[in-house]
Amino acid sequence: MRRLTEIGWGEEVEIMSSCAWWEWSQFKDLKLVGQSKKLADYAWNGIKDRLVEFLKEQKRQRLDWLKHKVLQEQTIPCAGQLSHVPPVEDLIWDTPFEEKLNADNLQPKLSEYLSSIIAEWKPAKIQELVEIMRKSGITEATASDLKLAKSGFRCSNCKEKMHYPQMFFHHCFVCYSPDSSVSKRLWTWYGYSY
């Protein structure tokens, strides 16, 4: 541990051991680590690179897992969903044909609406899920019931099973064409896009 700390990996080893990260047992069981005799300099130089590679991979996996967890907890609309929100839809359709729509000219226009859209979007989508639960027979369902293990959902398009908040990252939710509540002008556009 001392030598790994000296080369900047002590914190990662500490994280692995303290939060029961699943690879901790693999690290402890490595022949390179689990030796009872004192580690000589020449032996350390022989195992250091392999240990560092192992720790780099574990750190990458841990950070990927944390990033995924944070994204799941944030639950914000994707670009496809944003395009169906009235202010954004109006912005797209009311832009003159000659004006090019790209990130550079959309970003300033969207920034004016984005925070309010996001603030309204998540509660509305949660309420839609609660309504689905109520229609399926759980008449007393509330938003807190979404986090229960028994609260399972099935995609009406591909039939995949999922739990809250997986549906917000599900490929059908992100990519599927709009439902009947979307304005006729988008239906027209989608009709021509096939």
Q: pLDDT tens digits for the chain (194 residues)?
A: 778 888 988 888 787 776 654 555 666 666 666 666 777 888 788 888 888 898 898 889 888 888 877 766 666 777 667 777 778 888 888 888 888 877 787 778 788 888 888 888 888 888 989 998 998 888 899 999 988 888 888 888 888 888 888 887 777 776 554 454 444 444 444 333 33
User: Residue 187's pLDDT is what?
Assistant: 43
State residue 17's pLDDT score: 73
How far is Cα 68 from Cα 63, in angstroms, rounded to an integer? 8
Burial of 37 (C-beta count, 10 Å sphere; 0-12/13-18/19+):
exposed
Residue 186's pLDDT is 44
Q: In whole angstroms, give the CA distance from residue 52 to residue 113.
A: 46
Q: Do 126 and 143 form a contact (C-beta atoms < 8 A)?
A: yes
